A and B are shown apart, each in its own frame.
Chain A
Amino acid sequence: MIHARWAGTEGDAGFFREEDRLQGIFWGLTGGSALLLVLLGVGLWRLDRAARIPPLIVGVAGGQVFSGSADPLSTLGESDFDRQCSDTLEVLLGRTERGLPPALRDFCAPEVIAAVDRDYHDAAAHYPAGFVQTLTLLEAKPQAGRPGVRRAFYRGLLASRSVATAQVSAVYFDCTFALAGAAPLNASGWRLVKVVALARDDFYRDEETKARREALGLGS
């Protein structure tokens, strides 16, 4: 037995070797990095999914409150603006002795308003007791257009009343709408840029042609 003082000490070689410790740290860092990357990826995925969920939108329009699921802007179609276009024509040709409502300027090109106003320039002098004209559209036939331009035929009843007379006429119009900049009252930007009176035959020309071809057995 050798006294511990005189015995040769055998040092632990690994104690002096940093390689094992650094290797352990390396694997720890690798594992931690992988774990954090996975967590970051999952977190970003959750963040993306949460960001895509639209908020609950509560709208107030005309004193009515409405709500519903929000759809992407790409779901807007041409038919969503049919009502605005027909309303524009109805308001343009419906008037009293007070003239046209100023809000119409957001929905019509200035030259269209000027052209219609020209026809009613002397109306106040002719009808001092006042007059009422209303246009009720009964049918709309969309025509081929191009991006940013819509064209449609309209059929309606134009009713005019004054103290002396009253009459109702069937009217046909060829209207062209163009996409212009948005206005305070016209967020969509569709404006009436051209109104042309149509004859009844022009309005029903497609139907007549189709009927004629069918009668002749030429097919549609």
Chain B
Amino acid sequence: MSTDAESCSRLQAAALVRRWRLRPPRLRAVPSEAPSEVAWPAAAAEARRSFAWVIHEQRLVGLLLVVLGAATGFVWLAAGSVARKPAVVVRAGPSLKAAAASFYGTAEVSYDQLAFFLHGCVPLLYACQVGRSPLLPLAEGLVAPEICREAEKRMAVHAAAMAAQGLTQALTLTDITNVVADAAAGRAGADLGGYLSVTTGEGKTQFFRWHGRAVVAVNPGSRLDPYPFYLLTLEAKSSRP
């Protein structure tokens, strides 16, 4: 125990001696002409200044890299979003031919065509010769099936009597009036007037005043109905003149 304390004291003494030996030299009195501040050598000052700025430069470059990284991320996101483009619809105006067709096209239903169609179509429904209706099949496709069936039924009811008396019946249209057309809906209507002539086998002819009201639809030409109209409804009544 005493040995440890002694060695400790010796070490302490040795350290004191060593510190005393290594003591800094005592400063001499500073002459009054000595500079209060010593300037760095130029090269050393330049190296020190450059070295000191490196830290700031690296911080600045790091900040710029953060901005560059953000810009890169934005570019990648933009590339992904730009690749998904929605479909674009372009609506073209009418061509010159379409504009010309629209200009020359008739917006209303032609009276001439309507009158020509009714003159050709309606008499077929009333033409009867000795109990037969040879022209009625021509009306199929031009008129609604109900009108055709009604005409057949009307002929069938009196067919036997008409055949026995040798009756011949024909309708002649004389008036097509009050034409009303709806070009947008493709419909037209007109009041019809005419005479139903019935001729007996003995040569006697009787005339009956005939009135009707027809509604037609605009028809695209086809093999079934090559005419511009289709007879939708026909209301008719006849009376003695």
Contact = CB atoms under 8 A, between A and B. Distances in A.
Interface residues of B, number: 41
A96 B78 contact: no
A43 B76 contact: yes
Interface stretch (A47-55, A140-148, A166-174, A197-205): A47-55
A185 B93 contact: yes
B104 interface: yes
A53 B83 contact: yes
B65 interface: yes
* List of 4 A-B pairs having minimum Cβ-Cβ separation, nearest first: A103-B99, A101-B103, A43-B75, A61-B92
A36 B54 contact: no
B79 A47 contact: yes
A109 to B, nearest CB: 15
Contacts of B51: 18
B76 A39 contact: yes
A114 interface: no
Interface string B68-83: 1101100110111011
19 contacts: A6-B11, A25-B58, A29-B58, A29-B61, A29-B62, A33-B68, A40-B68, A43-B72, A43-B79, A51-B82, A55-B87, A56-B85, A57-B88, A60-B89, A62-B94, A87-B96, A88-B96, A91-B96, A185-B96
Nearest to B59: A25
B90 A87 contact: no
B95 interface: yes
Nearest to A26: B58
Give chain B's interface secondary structure class: helix
A91 B97 contact: yes
A87 B76 contact: no
B19 to A, nearest CB: 10
B91 interface: yes
B15 A62 contact: no
Give chain A's interface secondary structure class: helix
A58 interface: yes
A44 interface: yes
A218 to B, nearest CB: 43
A46 B51 CA distance: 41
A87 B92 CA distance: 17
A62 B94 CA distance: 6
Contacts of B86: 55
Contacts, number: 118
Give the residue among B8, B58, B96, B103 with the most A Cβ atoms within 10 A: B96
B79 to A, nearest CB: 4
A56 to B, nearest CB: 4
A interface bracket (residues with beta carbon within 8 Å of B):
35 or more
A62 to B, nearest CB: 6
Contacts of B78: 47
Contacts of A57: 87-90
B210 to A, nearest CB: 32
A36 B75 CA distance: 12
Interface in A41-96: 43-44, 46-47, 49-51, 53-62, 84, 87-88, 90-91, 94, 96
B72 A39 contact: yes
A103 B72 contact: no
A98 B103 contact: yes
A32 interface: yes
Contacts of A106: 96
A36 B68 contact: yes
A87 B95 contact: yes
Contact of B96 (A32, A56, A103): A103
A118 interface: no
Contacts of A90: 97
Contacts of B11: 2-3, 6
